[in-house]
Amino acid sequence: MNDSLSSESFFQGAKKAAHKAMDDHGRTEYDEFALHAGVAIERLAKAVLVSKNPTYIAEIRNADMLLYLGGDLQIDEEKVRTVGAKDALARLRKIGVLPADPELDLLIEMRNGAAHASVHSKRAKRMVLPLARTVETLLTDLGKPLDEFWDRWTAAVRAGMNEQEDEVFRDVRLRITQARHAFEDRFEGLPDEVRQRALSVPQSRLSEWIETVEIRMGGVPVLQTSGGDCPACGSRGILTFEPTHRTGTDTHYVANSFTCPMCHFEVIGPDEMAALRKANTLPMAYTLAVSHGRTLTPEEITMGETQTG
């Protein structure tokens, strides 16, 4: 049997495909994510089967493969055929390694083209959890630690498997890691000073605090500020604030979105901002008050003292 059919070879192939899947997910390329995630699961499943008995990856209808994997027959490498993903998972379930998992089955269907990820993009986006869950189960059977497989993705995957946290929080945590890795990859092989120089270049014309007041539909004023260090890359990001209430002398705002021009990390809406506040340890303003004259309308606000918190 050639080395490409060894448990270690399947393990390394699964690891490479899983890392590609996480990169795809970070770029919102969910069809590619489903493809690479399915490949990762198939190869890791075969790694487990081979570790138990090399003949377990043989196609049932191919007697030559059974004899080849048993070490009693030589065949040309181009004629080597092994079991597919669905059958590999079915065999692992029969011997008690894997439980039934409809989400995992859907992911494999997406990988095989039976269900297109582009059609089910919202569902494909959530497939990180069954991917991570299945990988952990198979690694446990192989006796390999999680970090040997996931490397720099380990912390994000662990957080993603924490079903005690809500889905929005897990998603924001994962996106922070994805944006950080994408940013790091841009400077791979370059001196660190190149990265530091890029971070020191202003990413927008916004001042340290408020420079512009934009009027939204319906006449609602929205403040844009350079208001926080990006949790993914550390660059200065852009916060958008929306008004919550107004007194005779102040208008109070709450942050409703954050965008980093450097690494393109972004959160939008109150739920994602709440998750960012929970996940982020870097300084960032989430509320703001703008002082103005008693006779001014919100559209006529002049910048006075600001308060952040």
Instruction: Identify the weakest region by mean pLDDT among 84-88, 162-166, 261-265.
Output: 162-166
pTM: 0.74
Question: Rounded to an integer, what distance in angstroms lies between the CA atom of residue 109 and that of residue 51?
Answer: 25
Rank 105-109, 235-239, 240-244 by mean pLDDT and report only the highest: 105-109
What are the structure tokens assigned to 67, written together? 């004899």
- pLDDT tens figures, 51-65: 998 888 887 766 666
> What mean pLDDT do residues 273-287 have?
82
Using 50, 70 and 90 to split pLDDT, how confident is the model at 140? very high
Question: Rounded to an integer, what distance in angstroms lies between the CA atom of residue 161 and that of residue 164?
Answer: 9
Q: pLDDT at residue 232 above 80?
A: yes
pLDDT of amino acid 211: 46
Q: pLDDT at residue 108 above 50?
A: yes
Q: pLDDT at residue 93 above 90?
A: yes
At 203, is the secondary structure helix, strand, or coil? coil
Q: pLDDT at residue 45 above 50?
A: yes
pLDDT of amino acid 123: 77
> What mean pLDDT do residues 220-236 have?
78
> What mean pLDDT do residues 61-76 have?
65
pLDDT of amino acid 92: 97
Using 50, 70 and 90 to split pLDDT, how confident is the model at 295? very low
> What mean pLDDT do residues 186-196 have?
80
Question: Rounded to an integer, what distance in angstroms lies between the CA atom of residue 263 and that of residue 53?
Answer: 46
Using 50, 70 and 90 to split pLDDT, how confident is the model at 298? very low
What element of type H or E holds 189?
none
Residues 6 or more apart whose CB falls under 8 angstroms from that of 91 comprise 49, 56, 83
- Pairing label, strands 250-259, 287-291: antiparallel
Q: pLDDT at residue 296 above 50?
A: no
Q: pLDDT at residue 212 above 90?
A: no
